[in-house]
Chains A and B, each alone.
Chain A
Amino acid sequence: MIYIATFYSHFGAIRFKKKCIADGLSASVMPVPRSLSSSCGTCVTFTVSDEYYLDENINEEIEQIVCVEENKYRQIYQASDS
């Protein structure tokens, strides 16, 4: 399944991408899709074979994570104070 994570900063996105790759996931950075946010920052799209396991100690730089489904995004995580 394909996921997209958005971040509060470019730094957070690059760091998350590095972690994904270290974990053996396919990941790349790209501009945040307009339909996902009015922010013009950097997001990470990554592929996981099964449902994404959400680490409770999730990177504090992550603003939200969505699962890419046909013609829509399904939100699976939203930072509590964003």
Chain B
Amino acid sequence: MSGFLAARRGGRLTRGRLVLALGACAALAALVTVLAPLLGVTMTRDGRELTLLDLSAIGDADAIDHKVFVLTRLPRALGAMLVGAALAAAGCAFQALLRNPLAEPYTLGVSSGASLAAVIAIRLGLDGALGGTGTGVAALVGAGAAVAVVWQLGRVGRALPPATLLLAGVTIAMLCSSASMLVQYTAEFADVSRMVRWMMGGFDVVRYATLARAAVAIGAGLVILLWLARDLNALAAGPEAAASVGVSVGRAQTLVFVAASLLVGAGIAVAGPIGFIGLIVPHALRAVVGPDHRVLLPASILVGGALLVVCDTFARLAIAPAQLPVGIVTALLGAPFFLLVLVRGKRGAQLWGG
């Protein structure tokens, strides 16, 4: 399928190439996670000024810089890292599983399902429930429900034809978006602004407790996908071809679908719907490290996390002291990229694998 970006470098995956690629990605992720929380904007008499926290103060529990770093900026960076990793891994897995370059949480209706549930939770005043995690839990449930419906609609017998599944996903996405608008239309003004704000996505109020809960779910999802990395290679050639090289197709498809959905649901629960990370990162990396998921998937996890930290830092600094919702930043970055993938696909023979 020519919809996938054409370029690829290097030969088959060897241990050396794997170590090199993942080492570089891990270094990038670590650098970004440490550097981003140090950056801030200070208002001076001359206007705004980009400042760095005092590194030597970090570790000193009484220092202001330490508190800013540990209490507000580090959890924020870690949250972005976690969610970016989850979304990129899910996008990467969905693209291979559905054999379609445009597959990602948005096009599969997962994000819209989560948003609808969150909006309903806010409308019903449940956002404060469960110790303030009401919206997040609702989003997770909504993501799961959307996935279950799309899976049931898209399945033909025991087979999982990608085109049907994507169509089901897009349809469910539209349905959920319309329902969200309906809920918003009937809501109180104060609720509406919270709904709209939630749907833009952001990390401004991330607590360590939330992170820890999300890390468990996201960690589990990532481990399952990484464990199935080689099966994803074979599945890219279709279920029959995968079966003939030893993949238990039904089991692998179900596990990938469930794990990827868990990742998306948990990510949305933390930060609201954040689009395009799942689309951009795997595509861009495929051109650099090749399509083998044994390197592509871990690289996507690391770079997806790093990219979202960068986007979030930009969102935090660009119009400081005010903040942009990070979802707007990723969308502005991602939409043109989405079009690029589409146009490249059109230039080739066909976008649909069939």
The answer to whether A and B come from one shared complex is: no
Interface of A toward B, CB cutoff 8 Å: none
